[in-house]
Copies of this chain bind each other. A is one copy, B any other.
Amino acid sequence: MMERSYTETLQWRHLRYVRWTDDQDDIPRGTVSWEGRLLFGYPRIGRILNLRVGLSEQFGDAFWVEEKVDGFNVRIARLGPDIVAFTRGGFLCPFTTDRLPDLMPMDIFAKMPDLVICAEVAGPESPYAEASPPYVQEDVGLFVFDMMRLGQPGFLPQQQVYELADAYGLPMVERLGRWHASDSEHIAGMLARLDAEGKEGAVFKAVDASRRIKYTTAHASLEDIGVAAPQLNDFSADYYIQRILRLALFLDEQGKKVDAALERQLGAAFLEGLEASIEQLRAHGRVFHRYRCRFRTERAAREMMDHLVRLSGKRVNVRIHGLECDGGYWRLSFERQPAVMTGLLSHLLKGGELFD
């Protein structure tokens, strides 16, 4: 039998690094190593779908509550002279790495060279995500929510994260305070407010750092569905069903009887995206979504183009539309074409048959 491989070796400029493509014992997928150093992958976080019972089931003692931001997860670390950002999957992200000086002060790494900052990058000009938080009106923002140390799998205590963020002026996710499970009525009210503000949800972190859990709003479930529906069959069918269940349990939690407006939002999340894709296919022969993002340097923009094309494969085709220097930034525009949806819709609109 062939030895199973858990890693691949990649190169970015002068840096040669290894990323874990799969979990291997205690080393999670997305872990990165270079020159004998190890940057642990960001762990998967469990989710509860009922707050009032869930918080007391999950937490015996106090926990911090923070906004959960809808973007993409990066881990930022110092590598010799460079400060670089890795995606959740363990790829060096040319986009985030290039933009870091715009997104956060970096002097903290001079003082703490083995620090790892975990942050969400979110906004309408994200090269990965299509949803965007309401308070990022253009470009992207960066929101710190955790810190780790190189070579260590766990997180720094949250109190220390807050102190460091304050001391170094790091942009953070919204901090919602320190609470107990007995405050669940109040917390349910906070979630109702986050939902009304179009935010994704909250993360709960035990003060003793022993565990963390997440919970998402109706808004997040609806937005996730609406963003994916134009590429319906390129997402796993479970993706949608999980979100519909979350939505039903959020409404139950909030004591909302299902109402016409919300039913309509759920139906619209599916049907409007599909209608748009059918029209795209008729007009252009393909389904696609356009992205724009901006870079400080042409070199990084070209690295990102290579990165996108390398990630492009059987499932998603990437087509670069252009790269222009404008207003001090290199602006890249490209599209992703979901391959399954393009193929399926084109078969069906040609009158092809399906067996199911």
Contacts and interface: CB of A to CB of B under 8 A. Distances in A.
A3 interface: no
A126 to B, nearest CB: 22
Contacts of A249: 278, 348
A56 B275 contact: no
Interface in A238-272: 238, 240-242, 244-245, 247-249, 251-252, 257-258, 260, 262-268, 270-272
A233 B245 contact: yes
A48 B353 contact: yes
Give the dominant DSSP class at A's interface.
Answer: helix
Nearest to A260: B264
B262 A274 contact: no
A351 interface: yes
A266 B318 CA distance: 32
Q: How large is the interface on A (under 10, 10 to 19, 20 to 34, 35 or more residues)?
A: 35 or more
Contacts of A58: 351, 353
Given A50-B349, A349-B53, A262 B258 contact: no
Interface in A52-89: 52-58
8 contacts: A46-B355, A48-B348, A49-B348, A53-B350, A55-B351, A258-B275, A266-B267, A266-B271
Interface of A: 44, 46-50, 52-58, 213, 232-233, 236-238, 240-242, 244-245, 247-249, 251-252, 257-258, 260, 262-268, 270-272, 274-275, 278, 344, 348-356
